[in-house]
Structure 1
Amino acid sequence: MTTDTLQAVRWNTAQKVLFRFIFLYTLFYIFPFPVNYIPYGQYLSHWIGQFWQWLSLWTADHIFHITEELPLNGRGSGDITLAYLQVFVQLLIATAGTIIWSVSDRKREHYNNLFRYQIVFLRYYTAFLLLTYGIIKIIPTQFSNLSLFDLIKTYGDSSPMGLMWNFMEYSDTYTRFSGIAEALGGVLLLFRQTERLGALIGFGVMLNVFLMNMSYDIPVKLLSFHLMFICAIILSAHIKAFLNFFLFNKTAPPEQILPYSSRKKIRIAGYIFKGIFILHFVIPRVINTHEYYTERRDKASLPALYGIYDVKDFIYNGDTIPPLLTDTLRWKRIVIDRRSTGIVKMNDKITPLKNDTDTLKHTLMLASWQDTTKVHSFTYEVRDSLFYATGTYGRDSISITMKKKDLNDFLLINRGFHWINEYPFNR
């Protein structure tokens, strides 16, 4: 099954069966792409999604006898139970379809033309996803800046995914490099002359991503595996040339790239449509990503009291509470981050709170997310580099003296880059 041997007159039975199965499964997994990128295509995409969801839920109930309610949306996770069930259902249907197809079409000698168009379908699907992930790394928005909570959290309290996320967040340089690799593979896959190199780069990039997802428990395992698998399918179209060049030390002759139509006007129209479709996909993503990046990097968008505040004195109902690690009442610090705020107790337990700051009235309101009646109401002022807050929590009075921590005190922030290191600085 290679485009290097399109003149082959016969495939063996194993090739035909394998092609039928892969063709059906990838079609079920990928469709409604590319319809979902054209106007009103989202309606078809929604209907197909609803169909797979219904079938997966039916499978969960009647085949696996799963009684608990399954989440329908992973809020960013692609590895929810429903996603695995959908893959299982698609594998079953593809298997049944392969059997029926093989019986009804057993006399066909090959699927050269259908394989050509399948490769085109897979190329564009993979290219668009690689470009999507590449753009949000080149313009670094997939991984935000290290949060203030990340800076005070210990390695031991990090999740494997959080540890890897912080690793990527620390360096925009490395993030952009990985994005360029993804985007390069995507661009090369858009053209038949470079699809071999694009698939090779795409496979290497997605192999790395898949292993990171498996090693750090990042819930994009299914998608990264499928992208890697699809790149392997595209490479299989050139397997003879790869084996000759890399293993057998033989000549890898140039591939004969046949036009999709003998009519020049149709070919020109196809080039124009291809250009418009690619630009329609790429330009909005670049613009939206850049706007989000600019907004996120704008320091004016930070909260008025953004920072880490270490508690020096904590007075509760007139009593000064000493900073004992066993004390569950006293505060250790307050963290006011870009989108989240929290109180850190002496045992380092963090209580997330809603933050409402009025810089004109100098008031700070910290409310519980679960119970809006639980509110810390403070008035605050800054004197001699110290932050004073006085207020109430229910019927209790609280008075706090804090000092804002200089973020450059963190080694991770102040270490920087050095061309010369006389000794390894590994802390």
Structure 2
Amino acid sequence: MTEIVSRNTAAWTFSAKISFRFAFILILAFVLLMNNGAFPFFKIITQPVMKLVEQFVPWFSEHILHYQYDFKILPNGSGDTSFSWVLLLIMVITAAIGSIVWSILDRKRKSYNTCHYWLSVVVRYYLACMLINYGVIKMMHAQMPPPTLHRLMEPLGEFSPMGLAWTFFGFSKEYSFFVGLVEVLSAFLFFRKTVVLGALITVATAINVMSVNYFFDVPVKMLSTALFVLALFLLIPHLQALYKLLIKGEAATLVSQRNPIFDKPRKRTIIYTIKAILLLIFGITQVTSTLQRNQLIQQYYKKSPLLGIYRIASDDNLHESIPATWRSIVFEFEGSATVRDIDYQPIRQQIQLDTSKRTISLNNFTFDYQLEENGNISLRKIWDNETEEIKLIKINPADFELQKQGFRWIQEYPNNR
């Protein structure tokens, strides 16, 4: 497959012009309002527009659609809120009306080659920045982290579909890195001569992401679908060549879009310099945002000094402080713990730990605690006439079946448990 530069000046068909006008308005609106942090500093630019949108969408939902769900909840980690879906509907309606008005006012236009080029540039950079943003945090094992101690103690039936998917991806650091690396390869979209390669990688990546989002109830269905559709948009001019090569097995030529206005060397130097600066800014913001994200994770998920899974040793004594139905306790993050009772039901506990005084508040009682050399914990509660002692036996997470088996080239039998 060879590559040439397109200098097509043929007139577009009526349907092609109508479709492009609709797509142009809808895509630009989506990039503007559904950016999700793809472009550095973009939220600062769009903030005035978003304030108007945040007022208009609830009004439209209530007075025009008479929508019953809570349309006032803004995107919050979920990109599939009622607010987002109503906003998408508004964008589609706006694109439809806008394309009609545009067609009336500009009905003599023969083609939109220049306009199509710049729209493609926007789509290319949007897709690349978006996927690199997601890919980098996957490579850092920060989007889907390893299973926590709490996860290891949860029975499968307590997992949500999304939690199951996150645990699956997070289990293997290497797999997370590989998936992230494939997403980062969308960087081929930054360059005109590798647009087709970048778009094909993006289509494959987006299909995988869409499948996970759709079938594991991950609330990023709208965005992942948009990534897929936008990648297809970039491939439309090359579908015939791809069909000849991939389906018919014939020689084919890729036609690259010609840069419409930067034919002179000086202008090309200027645009290449601007491009290099933008990519440098994007790269710097990726590094700094990744470091900041890791810092926030470490602060928010600060580990407990008693970090571990513990079995509550049973004895014949009845304790006033700890119910006899408690069977295990997990200390993972500061300020909280999770108890499992005799029926394996989770009981969330807020705790206060004073490492200097060696005291811990648990179940509304304050205990003195002692860390033993083998990792076990002794809790002591002194009453007026007696002393209660409770032993917490530490469980090694490496003993869990999920943690035992690593990569092996040779396996005589499958270990499917």
Deviation at 1:412, TM superposition (A): 0.7
TM-score, with length taken from structure 1 = 0.86
Asked if structure 2 preserves the Cα contact closer than 8 Å seen for 1:376 and 1:392, the reply is no
* Aligned residue type for 1:80: T
State the one-letter code of the partner of 2:150. F
Question: CA offsets per residue over residues 204-232 of structure 1, 9 Å max, x none?
Answer: 10111001100100011011000111000
In the aligned structure 2, how far is the partner of 1:28 from the partner of 1:80? Answer: 18
The secondary structure found in structure 1 opposite 2:370 is strand
In the TM superposition, what are the counterparts of 1:297-308 in structure 2 within 5 Å? 302-308=303-309
Residue equivalent to 1:202:
202
Tell me which of 359, 364, 371 is aligned to 1:363: 359
Partner-residue secondary structure (3-state), 1:389: strand
SS of residue paired to 1:237: helix
Q: TM-score, normalised by structure 2?
A: 0.88
Determine if the alignment matches structure 1 residue 184 to structure 2 residue 185: yes
Q: 2:178, 2:410 → 1: CA distance?
A: 22
User: Is the alpha carbon distance of 1:193 and 1:31 closer, same or farther for their aligned partners in structure 2, counting shifts above 3 Å?
Assistant: same
Aligned to 2:31: 30
* Aligned positions of 1:4-403 closer than 5 A: 6-31=7-32, 37=39, 41-66=42-67, 69-185=70-186, 187-259=187-259, 260-290=261-291, 292-293=293-294, 302-313=303-314, 318=320, 322=324, 330-338=325-333, 340-366=336-362, 375-383=364-372, 385=374, 386-391=376-381, 400-403=390-393
Identity within the alignment, %: 28
Compute the displacement of 1:49 (Å): 1.6
Contact 1:34 1:125 in 2 (8 A): no
Question: How many pairs align?
Answer: 405
Q: How many Å apart are 1:82 and its aligned residue?
A: 0.7
- CA separation of 1:287/1:357 partners in 2, compared to 1, >3 Å: closer, same or farther? same
Is contact 1:36-1:45 (8 Å) kept?
no
Quote how far apart the aligned CAs of 1:61 are: 0.1
8 Å contact from structure 1 (residues 4, 240) kept in 2: no
Give, in angstroms, the shift of residue 289 of structure 1: 2.0
Task: Tell which has more relative contact order, 1 or 2 (C-alpha 8 A, sep 6+).
Answer: 2
User: Counterpart of 1:268 in structure 2: which amino acid?
Assistant: T
Partner of 1:414: 404
The range that moved more, 48-57 or 107-116, is 48-57
Summarize deviations over 1:116-137 as a string: whole Å, max 9, x none. Answer: 1110010001000011011111
Instruction: Tell me if structure 1 keeps the 8 A contact 2:147–2:170.
Output: yes
* Paired amino acid for 2:354: D
Q: Deviations over 1:295-327 (max 9, x none)?
A: 9689x96321001111113766559965xxxxx
Q: Please say if residues 307 and 405 of structure 1, whose CA atoms lie closer than 8 Å, have aligned partners that are also in contact.
A: yes
Separation in 2 of the partners of 1:245 and 1:379?
Answer: 74
Paired residues of 1:344 and 1:350 also in contact (CA < 8 A): yes
Equivalent position amino acid for 1:171 in 2:
S
SS at match of 1:217: coil
| Alpha-carbon spacing, 1:279–1:381, altered in 2? closer, same or farther (3 Å) | same
Out of 172-181 and 343-352, give the one that drifted further: 343-352
Cα deviation, residue 294, structure 1 = 8.2
